[in-house]
Amino acid sequence: MANIRSQKSEVRSQKNLFWILYSVFFILILFSPQTGFATEEAGAFLSLGVGARAIGLGGAFSAMADDGTAFYWNPAGLARLSRPEVTMMYSSLFGLSDALANHHVLAYAHPLRGIHFSAGWIRLSVDDIPRFPELTYKNTKDRSYRVGGLHPDTDLQGDGVPMGYFTDREDAVYLSFSKMNTLEVDMGWQYFAFRLRLPVGVSFKFLNYSIGEASGRGVGIDIGSMLLFGVDELLDNAALGKASFGLVIQDVANTAIIWKSKYQDTIPTNVKFGAAYDQPIPSFNSRATLLWEIESKYKGTHHVGLEYTYAERLALRIGYDEARVSAGMGVTFWRFRMDYALSNYDLGIIHRASASLRF
């Protein structure tokens, strides 16, 4: 009897925790301050994505987020990891000469007793950016014209010789925490208890910018949750698979970036909602996962992705996000996984490679 009372008490406390956290989520959405400085371009390097697997799926990953990149896509997903995991990613953007633009990601996730922890680092760096002098007039005697109304004989021109070079470094360090909660829902009409898993998580991110002589810093918070359940259990049909939903609020209450010059940028709050369905295909020793997501950024962007996994060893992926098509593949050997993705942008195709190891 004491055991039963203890279990009931635990379920009640988990239910209370669940509703408290969701209440906090929606209060933060409703009352987050909006400032005139908020622009969708602020913190743009964080929109490049993390992990070739998720990028190959068009970024529709908030409802799955079951690997070491969860700190970025949905911190709640860290609670789904059963082993420590190291994740790395590298890409050279748009094929710039001499690999001037580089995107690096390094993360470590560790499941602790009750709480899962992750530390992640993202860097976008561009070296040897030329700095040119101000444009001068062809005819130095006539300076009465300005840009937009120049006379053909007094057009501005540059000599094409840089006066020096500078470097752009943009870094984000994430510290993330997640906890798995389980609810037993009494389905009296079918005389059984249906299990729901409700992980919740939070990421604290520390931003640092260094662009030439200018520098800026900021601190932001992302929060996320998931709802995981078996459709096979719900409908009592072993041929069906698993479903999940994800809710993420990035940059809660906006994230301010304070520059040394006292100027302030603000990264606006972004809300993402996603769904995923994983269907086993036993006859082919494989499974297919369909993913969908919508985010409030850029006036509502849809993401869709499809992953086909064979024998838990080989995965093929394709994704779309209203602006570009992505594709990729992954190979798993023992506890080591290699992923590759390519995405088409207006400036060209970006190739990304990532690797992860579970201990």
CATH number for the domain that contains residue 86: 2.40.160.40
Could you give the CA distance from residue 181 to residue 160 in angstroms, rounded to a whole number? 61
3-class DSSP state of 79: helix
The number of distinct structural domains making up the chain is 1
Could you give the CA distance from residue 168 to residue 202 in angstroms, rounded to a whole number? 28
| pLDDT tens, position by position, 172-223 | 999 999 999 998 877 665 566 788 999 999 999 999 999 888 889 999 999 9
Q: Which domain holds residue 18?
A: 2-358
Q: What's the pLDDT band for 99 if we cut at 50, 70, 90?
A: very low
Q: What's the pLDDT band for 127 if we cut at 50, 70, 90?
A: confident
Structure token pair of residue 103:
């995107």
Question: What pLDDT was estimated at residue 350?
Answer: 87
Asked if pLDDT for residue 162 goes beyond 60, the answer is yes
27-51 CB burial, b ≥16 within 10 A, e <16: eeeeeeeeeeebeeebbebbebbbb
- Give pTM, 2 decimals: 0.82
List of long-range contacts for 284-287, beta carbons under 8 Å, 24+ apart: 284/310, 285/310, 285/311, 286/310, 286/311, 287/241
Q: Is 3 exposed, middle or buried (0-12, 13-18, 19+ CB in 10 A)?
A: exposed
Which residues have CB under 8 Å from 229's CB, separation 6+?
194, 195, 196, 197, 242, 243, 244
| Most confident listed range (155-164, 186-195, 282-291) | 282-291
Q: What's the pLDDT band for 224 if we cut at 50, 70, 90?
A: very high
Q: What's the pLDDT band for 18 if we cut at 50, 70, 90?
A: very low
